Chains A and B, each alone.
Chain A
Amino acid sequence: MSLVDVENLSIRYGANTVLSNVSLGIDAGEIVTIVGPNGSGKTSLLRAIIGAVKPSKGKVTRAEGVRLGYVPQKLHIDPTLPMNVARFLALPHGATPAEIAAALEQAGVPDLAGAQMSRLSGGQFQRVLLARALIGKPQLLILDEATQGLDQPGSAAFYRQIETVRRDTGCAVLMISHELHVVMSASDRVICLNGHVCCEGAPEVVASAPEYRALFGSGTMGALALYRHDHDHDHEHHAHGACNHTQTEAAE
């Protein structure tokens, strides 16, 4: 039995159908990456899996008692809410200081337990989110574009951490990523989503599938198209050209 089974899932918001007839299963220990253009329903799929959205049709079945760890795309903590890292990690079910230290160690940020969340850098913050997801010893770790806002070395290091975590704990990983080199090197399976499952399989199979090429182009051009697409709606203003340039290089 898979950890999570999604059967014929459809999600509608009002008249707007974001996902139709999606079926997939996640098995123990595998790394599965979801790719797809903006608005292709990636986040909606993850939210349906964690139970935050009700399917309009179909169903999501989680294995009995399966432990999920979830790293959201973004987390805003209101400045009026005082919160240190240790307290954050202990939410909601409590954790011993030893468990907190172990999770921080595993996420690559030991020594942060006493820090205020508001004082963390972007990279530290994401790793603390990862540590919180790890504290319940998840069998399935779910990450929604967890490296958004990190620079190239930062996100590469973050994904190496994920692989280490998988190696050490044997948990399955389901993630959304825009970073093609990560997808190709670190995933066991890639699912290409665009309102429905376009194609799925081993990374090299998906990369050569016509459906995938139709969406992202081919070869390094595919990576380029993906990044360009990603940046269509990026309003964090670095100089646009420079940004594309470095990311294209990294993709090649």
Chain B
Amino acid sequence: MLDDFMVRATLAGIGVAFAAAPLGCFVVWRRMAYFGDATAHAAILGIALSLALSISVFAGALVVALIMALTVNLLMGRGYAMDTLLGVMAHSALAFGLVAVSFLSGVRIDLMAYLFGDILAVSRTDLAVIWAGAGLVVALIGWRWSDLLTATLNEDLAYASGINPKREQLVLTLALAITVAVAIKVVGVLLIAAMLIIPAAAARPLSRTPEGMAVVAAGIGSVSALVGLRAAYVFDTPAGPSIVCVAALIFAALSIVSSLRASAQ
């Protein structure tokens, strides 16, 4: 079954959707959308470095994404507004990454594959890495779920319950770096944030509890992967962007339905 590239691609897409769903909910609730973008953009620098050093692209992206996320964490609340800081970091990381890639004259790299993903080229090993990473992210967030949620609501409430919100922020940062690293192959650096945010945002009108929202987001993400891949095959469109397009259409449809229902009441 895994011999079929479409099956592997579909499984890879669903794996990323599962990791992105609970994490994406926190990204939306905590207004960290730009933070996700910055971390993802930094990964291109990691890719360049790992190609130069001949190490695994996954490992390189993970390390640089982690460094990026930790740096932003550290600089938070020290003078600059968050969006300014992230704007500087995200785009300079991307620029440095693209420049670094150009130095790699010996290797011919398909830059597009890293910017927009190359889900149809997912190998068995890639699939194992993606599912291991996704499993790790889901386990990590599931383990910290209540504490993360309390810290997201209010830091002082968390402290009073014996929870350190800074530690919980670190957990999210780690989960974000892992998700970025495993999602590169699937949707590419530029569209990772979309996989985090769009399914979670689309799930909001359908949910009454935080847990419900994460589950619905996982469903929407998986459906997007399935339909997007099918559409890419039928219409011969790029696979990663097609997945994101489907997610965006689901988001638009659900938003319209929910606002119509709200105004009907």
- Tell me the A residues contacting B by CB distance below 8 Å: 47, 50-52, 68-70, 72, 75-78, 80-84, 87-88, 91-94, 116, 136, 142
State whether the Cβ of B149 lies closer than 8 Å to any Cβ in chain A: yes
Our count of residue pairs bridging A and B at CB distance below 8 angstroms stands at 71
A84 to B155, CA, bound (A): 19
A-B contact pairs, 19 of them (CB 8 A): A50-B159, A51-B159, A68-B160, A70-B160, A72-B157, A75-B154, A77-B153, A78-B30, A81-B29, A81-B152, A82-B207, A82-B213, A83-B153, A83-B209, A83-B210, A92-B147, A93-B146, A94-B146, A136-B161
How many whole Å from B219's CB to the nearest CB in chain A?
15
A82 touches B208 (CB 8 A): yes
User: For chain B, which range describes its interface: under 10, 10 to 19, 20 to 34, or 35 or more residues?
Assistant: 20 to 34
Contact of A82 among B30, B152, B158, B210 (CB under 8 A): B210
Q: Mark B155-178 against chain A: 1 for CB-CB distance below 8 A, else 0.
A: 111111111000000000000000
Known contacts being A87-B209, A92-B147, A92-B150, is A80 close to B156, with CB within 8 Å?
Answer: no
How many whole Å from B180's CB to the nearest CB in chain A?
21
User: Which residue on A lies nearest to B30, using beta carbons?
Assistant: A78
How many whole Å from B161's CB to the nearest CB in chain A?
5
Known contacts being A80-B29, A84-B209, A93-B146, is A75 close to B160, with CB within 8 Å?
Answer: no
A78 touches B149 (CB 8 A): no
Q: CB-CB < 8 A to B209: which residues of A? A: 82-84, 87
Contact of B201 among A52, A80, A94 (CB under 8 A): A80
Contact of A50 among B30, B146, B156, B213 (CB under 8 A): B156
Known contacts being A80-B204, A82-B204, A91-B146, is A142 close to B153, with CB within 8 Å?
Answer: no
